């Protein structure tokens, strides 16, 4: 439908009524042509038209008219008053949404039909009577890359299944099963589409791995994981700017963990929301049955693509104009643009941010010399028969920022900046305050508390517990070995060992923890054996837990567990007869051994490793 024409009042300066009328007339004609093109394309889709060439011709004509209409509409901004800008913005947004919508509909439709018809030998035959009744007389060939994975059976002949297997979410099971099938590559999915797949009031069940590992491999994984810093999930306050980042991290660190129940996921979700987001789900309680509902509410209220786009546009357009020599402000704007483009790619929504008025406001924030450079870039873009976008501005500005921060020539300028007594940066760059700068650089500064002393003399560090010291050192980005900046522990030139209480680790003595205070596995060496002994936490499938020692024998082919220890955990399993070959050639028979399954983890850790072992009466 053709939108009502925008009424524009002539401004008092340099107006030309005849020129304005001519521009409005051309814009009106183009809008009408666009509407007719959209109508024809929708009729082709309804008629199930398979003529791809005709679709391409119509879409090419539609895009040309769209670009021309935007050009004339941009010219009308010069004649409009401030009060008429919202109406003009709405006209352009409606036009853009109409064109983008028909493009998406056409792309989706073309992905469901075949490309050129193939020969008789490559047609897909169907022996099912139901499938024959559904086929059209001119059934097109389905190319291999367009066949869904679910429609191919795993048989030696690689035949195409007549009825693709669909795995819908079962309502009767009481569980919310996650479908891991990939979407069609021609249909882009937003980053949070998995929330839409959740079923409210149903338990989420992720696929569990039935693969078991040896005790040694499990312990090695646990030992390696304890050195990884604890990942802290940021809290979400309801700001749409941070919705995509929060949901992405929450899915990786909380939702995708198979060992977590929805009760635990719901508690974690409520622990990591504040402000408006906390208020939105405050009445849902903490039961896992409301987990899917809580995520859907957060998406509905704070994750709508238009809401995110509006917040990003405001962030990019509401700032002050950047001065010529303010390269740091230029870098900040470039970072915001890169983040905006990345977020819009996740939510699959560019209509608002690519509106010409919003692009103009962003460009107007640039220094004048960059605006002139941008005009030259726009000419090259339009010669390629397309309009500039937010991505073009982001690419342009990234290149300029890269030049401004070149390590050798970035700080050079034609005119030295004037001295600002509040900053003093300009005079220092030209050597006026070199003596003061050198004197200041020699002053001692603690990286932890920013006071005038060395890190090893820091009272804050001394008064903290060992885990707190690790956090302080990690936040200050210091080396765990020498407590200095500029490198990580593995690149530290200091190879001095801790040596506190015989410790041979390459960490500073301030970071040494006594047994039982460090997270992870506390490894000790059995004085009467050459095999290492590790104390871990055992977890049975029934929920019982108990601490115990594990003797690691890399040459053993079977994992065994003491029968009395297995009974204390309540482990169950199938009885089997096993023969064990011991060192020295001795063989021991266990006629009533049971094969049991359990998990082990670090004493204070959450990560578990699944173990399968046989019961034995006594250790050898």
Structure confidence by residue, pLDDT tens digits, 149-169: 333 334 443 443 343 443 443
Confidence of residue 374 (pLDDT cuts 50, 70, 90): very high
Predicted confidence at residue 415, as pLDDT, reads 54
Q: Using an 8 Å Cβ cutoff, are 344 and 302 in contact?
A: no
Distance in angstroms (rounded) separating the CA atoms of residues 63 and 536? 65
Distance in angstroms (rounded) separating the CA atoms of residues 561 and 577? 15
Task: Specify which of 112-116, 269-273, 507-511, 531-535 reaches the highest per-range mean pLDDT.
Answer: 269-273
Per-residue pLDDT, averaged over 480-509, amounts to 79
- Number of other CB atoms surrounding residue 186 within 10 Å: 11
Q: Give the single-character DSSP code of 371.
A: H
Helical (H) or strand (E) element with 407 = none
Does the pLDDT at position 396 exceed 90? yes
447-476 tens-digit pLDDT: 888 777 788 878 777 767 777 787 788 788
Q: At what angle do helices 305-317 and 356-364 cross, to 10 degrees?
A: 30
Predicted confidence at residue 528, as pLDDT, reads 40
* Of 473, 460, 582, 596, the residue nearest 541 (C-alpha): 596
Does the pLDDT at position 275 exceed 80? yes
pLDDT averaged over every residue in the chain: 73
The 3-class SS string of 161-229 reads CCCCCCCCCCCCCCEEECCCCCCCCCCCCCCCHHHHHCCCCCEEECCCCCCCCCHHHHHHHHHHHCCCC
**Helix (H, G, I), strand (E, B), or coil: what is residue 230?**
coil
- With 0-12 / 13-18 / 19 or more C-beta atoms within 10 angstroms meaning exposed / middle / buried, residue 92 is buried
* Of 610, 505, 543, the residue nearest 218 (C-alpha): 610
213-238 tens-digit pLDDT: 666 676 666 666 666 677 778 889 98
Does the pLDDT at position 265 exceed 80? yes
Per-residue pLDDT, averaged over 557-575, amounts to 84
Does the pLDDT at position 524 exceed 80? no
């Amino acid at each position: 439908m053709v939108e009502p024409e925008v009424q524009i009042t002539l401004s008092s300066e340099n107006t030309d009524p005849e020129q304005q009328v001519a521009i409005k007339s051309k814009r009106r004609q183009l809008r009408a042509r666009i509407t007719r093109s959209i109508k024809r394309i929708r009729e082709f889709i309804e008629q199930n038209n398979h003529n791809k060439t005709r679709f391409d011709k119509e879409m090419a004509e539609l895009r040309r008219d769209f670009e021309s209409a935007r050009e004339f509409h941009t010219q009308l901004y010069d004649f409009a008053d401030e009060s008429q800008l919202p109406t003009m913005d709405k006209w352009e947004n409606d036009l853009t949404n109409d064109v983008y919508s028909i493009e998406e509909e056409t792309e989706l439709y073309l992905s469901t039909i075949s490309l050129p018809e193939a020969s008789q030998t490559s047609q897909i035959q169907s022996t099912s009577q139901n499938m024959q009744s559904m086929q059209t007389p001119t059934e097109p060939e389905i190319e291999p890359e367009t066949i869904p994975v679910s429609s191919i059976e795993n048989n030696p002949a690689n035949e195409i299944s007549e009825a693709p297997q669909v795995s819908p979410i079962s309502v009767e099971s009481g569980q919310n099963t996650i479908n891991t099938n990939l979407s069609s590559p021609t249909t882009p999915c937003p980053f949070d589409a998995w929330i839409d797949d959740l079923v409210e009031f149903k338990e989420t069940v992720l696929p569990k791995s039935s693969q078991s590992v040896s005790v040694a491999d499990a312990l090695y994984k646990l030992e390696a994981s304890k050195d990884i810093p604890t990942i802290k999930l940021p809290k979400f306050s309801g700001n749409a700017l941070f919705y995509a980042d929060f949901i992405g991290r929450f899915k990786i660190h909380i939702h995708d963990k198979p060992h977590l129940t929805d009760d635990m996921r719901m508690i974690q979700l409520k622990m990591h929301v504040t402000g408006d987001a906390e208020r939105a789900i405050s009445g849902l309680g903490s039961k896992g049955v409301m987990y899917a509902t809580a995520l859907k509410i957060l998406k509905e209220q704070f994750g709508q693509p238009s809401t995110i786009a509006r917040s990003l546009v405001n962030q990019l357009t509401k700032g002050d104009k950047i001065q010529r020599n303010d390269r740091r402000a230029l870098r900040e704007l470039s970072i915001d643009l890169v983040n905006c483009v990345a977020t819009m790619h996740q939510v699959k929504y560019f209509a608002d941010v690519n509106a010409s008025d919003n692009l103009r406001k962003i460009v107007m924030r640039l220094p004048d010399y960059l605006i002139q450079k941008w005009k030259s870039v726009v000419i090259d873009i339009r010669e390629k028969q397309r309009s500039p976008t937010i991505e073009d501005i982001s690419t342009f500005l990234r290149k300029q920022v890269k030049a401004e921060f070149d390590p050798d020539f970035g700080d050079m300028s034609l005119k030295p900046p004037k001295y600002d007594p509040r900053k003093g940066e300009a005079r220092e760059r030209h050597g006026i305050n070199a003596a003061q700068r050198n004197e200041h650089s020699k002053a001692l500064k603690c990286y932890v508390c920013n006071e005038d002393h060395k890190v090893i003399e820091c009272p804050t560090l001394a008064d903290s517990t060992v885990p707190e010291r690790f956090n302080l050192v990690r936040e200050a980005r210091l080396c765990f070995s020498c407590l200095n900046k500029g490198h990580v522990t593995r690149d530290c030139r200091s190879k001095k060992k801790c040596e506190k209480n015989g410790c041979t680790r390459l960490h500073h003595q301030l970071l040494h923890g006594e047994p039982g205070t460090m997270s992870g596995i506390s490894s000790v060496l059995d004085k009467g054996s050459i095999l290492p002994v590790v104390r871990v936490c055992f977890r049975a499938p029934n929920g019982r837990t108990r601490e115990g020692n594990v003797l690691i024998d890399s040459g053993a082919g079977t994992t065994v567990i003491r029968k009395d220890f297995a009974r204390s955990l309540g482990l169950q399993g199938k009885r089997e007869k096993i023969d064990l070959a011991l060192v020295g050639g001795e063989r021991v028979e266990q006629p009533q051994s049971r094969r049991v399954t359990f998990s082990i983890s670090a004493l204070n850790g959450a990560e578990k490793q699944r173990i399968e072992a046989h019961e034995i009466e006594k250790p050898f």
